[in-house]
Structure formats: C-alpha cells, structure tokens
Amino acid sequence: MSADGLVEAYLKELATAAAVLPAGRRTELIGDMTTHIAEARAEGATSEDDVRGVLQRLGDPQDIVAAATEGLVQVEVPPRFRLREFAAVALLLVGPFFLVIGWLAGVWLLWTSDRWTRVEKLLATMGWPIGYVVAMICDYTLGLPLGLTLVIASVATVVPLIPLLKNGRPGRSATRTRSSAPNPQPTANRL
C-alpha cells in the first residue's frame, strides 16, 4: 500500500470509529489528526515506512476515539421522522396527480434520504407504475368493474409505501448522540 493509501485507510478507520461522537467533535478530531499527519509528512515523512511510523505514533483510531470521549456524557437522541421523509412519502403517493413532476420530486427525496434501504426505495419508486399496471390488468384483461379496479390499483400503489412509514422513523443511520459537556480539547495529539 502506498503512503497515501495508508493515510487514507487510517483516516477512514478513524472516521468510522468516531461515528459515535457528536458531529462537531468528530469533525474536529478528524481535522486534528489530518493536520498532524500532514505536518509530519511535510517534515519529511514521505516514504511508506515513515508514514507507517507516524500513524503508529498517533495510535489506534479506536484508542483515539476512546480518549476523545472521556468526560463526555453520551445521551441517546431518538431519531425523528423528518419533514423531508414526510414530503417524500406524500409526493410518491399524490405526485402523479401533479403532472408527474411531484412524483419525480418524491423519488428524488426518497433516493437522497439516508433513512431507507435500497430495496425499500426501489419498491416505493415502483409503487405508482405497479399500481398503473395492476389497473390495466384488472380493467382490460380481467374486465373488473371500475370501482374494484381503482381499489385494487390503489392498494397496489400504497402497499410499497408502508415500509417507508414504518422504517422512516428509526432511521438506520440517524442514531445520534449529544454531549452534555463541552467538547474537550483533543487528548490524542501525540506527535
């Protein structure tokens, strides 16, 4: 692995370990470590072995994060169903009535959200097209009455949205912590 690759892997591991920290503290910690590495490299640590030595002196990312959390009281903040998620579900449901532009906006909000899995996003995206196909099959192929066709098509459209409502609140990547103490100064500065 090259020197740049070692630094990139180290910082990626640090960012993963620091995910438990409040956002501001996490950014500060990663910035401090990046600065220390850059300073060491500017002072002549350019070879792979030199960079490996610098990273070893800094310490294991898990230990750095553990030191950064000393004195912090971690409080779980329950994730909320944000306005963005409400808008995504609402636009997916009624968007096609607004010249499809609303549905496209709902699809964009859906796919740019961090609250749902790809499978849930794919099913919700296909809700209206599936409902339309079901309506066509019920009407033309099966010859069902219009009222029954609309009910079946509506169910086929709404069912893929149910997991969005169910799973939008917990937010798989929305677990956050808040510090009840001020952010302490970095304790892992060991260069």
- pTM of the predicted model as reported, rounded to 2 decimal places: 0.43
Report the pLDDT value the prediction gives residue 175, as an integer from 0 to 100.
40
* Per-residue DSSP letter, 19: G
Q: In the structure, what pLDDT confidence band is assigned to residue 182 with cuts at 50, 70 and 90? A: very low
**90 vs 72, which has greater pLDDT?**
90
d(CA 172, CA 150): 34
pLDDT above 60 (res 7): yes
Task: Give CA separation, 118 vs 66, 82, 111, 160, 163, in Å.
Answer: 33, 19, 8, 13, 12
Q: Once rounded to an integer, what is the mean pLDDT over residues 55-71?
A: 85
Give the type of residue at 19: A
Region 121-125 average pLDDT: 87
pLDDT band at 185 (very low <50, low <70, confident <90, very high): very low
Which range, of 8-22, 92-106, 107-121, averages the lowest pLDDT? 92-106
* pLDDT tens readout for residues 33-62: 999 988 988 888 888 888 888 889 988 988
